[in-house]
Amino acid sequence: MKKVLDTVFKKINWKDYSLKDIALYFEKYDGYTLEIETEDKVIKVKIYKKALPHLLGLQHVYKNSNSKINYRGYKGLNNILNGKITWESIRSEIKQNAYCQISFKEVEKRISYLIMFFNTIEKRSYLKVLDKYKTWRSTLLKGNYVLYKEVYDINHLVYPMLSIKELYKNNYIIETFIVEDNNLLIGGLKQIKIKKVKLIKQCEKKTLYN
């Protein structure tokens, strides 16, 4: 049964929702700061709704398109909202492009876990320091940190991962979101203990995790 996305706390069946449904859900995070407090620093991550196309991997799907600008940032988000970018158009683009850097299965996995990840970001999240010399496949995760979860799915662990990039001193943004079927990608990275996670919108604060 299709659930209201705000009430989803586990993997969704992506077929139950349109891309517009996902975009409307993600819009609520626009302007928020994800604040991660560790034992020695506070990492403040800006969240913008325009990041959604990137989190879905559309930059890889349409990398070779002559109009790839229409699939990124605010233009990409608006094209999702107005129905110009759909599951069908993404699947078609991947099938027609022999050099596409992402499979439709990988896009499915991102959608299947993205909602759960944000709705439960306050619970059982782990943080590691990204190091390109210790990352198994350095091309997938870029930035400074990776916030991840360990989720059971049909008797095995799955690892949704949100990478965080520092734009300039103490100012961070979301870099990308991927889902791995094992922890080989981050297994050798340094773990950091999280003390508290909060979502902050302007002057209004909402504590998510203590």
**Are 81 and 23 spatial neighbours (Cβ–Cβ below 8 Å)?**
yes
Note if the pTM is more than 0.85. yes
Per-residue pLDDT reduced to its tens digit, 78-104 = 999 999 999 999 999 999 988 888 999
**Are 105 and 181 spatial neighbours (Cβ–Cβ below 8 Å)?**
no
Per-residue pLDDT reduced to its tens digit, 1-59 = 789 999 999 999 999 999 999 999 999 999 999 999 999 999 999 999 999 999 999 99
Q: What's the rounded mean pLDDT across residues 115-141? A: 80
pLDDT band of 202, cuts 50, 70, 90: low
Q: What are the beta bridge partners of residue 42? A: 37
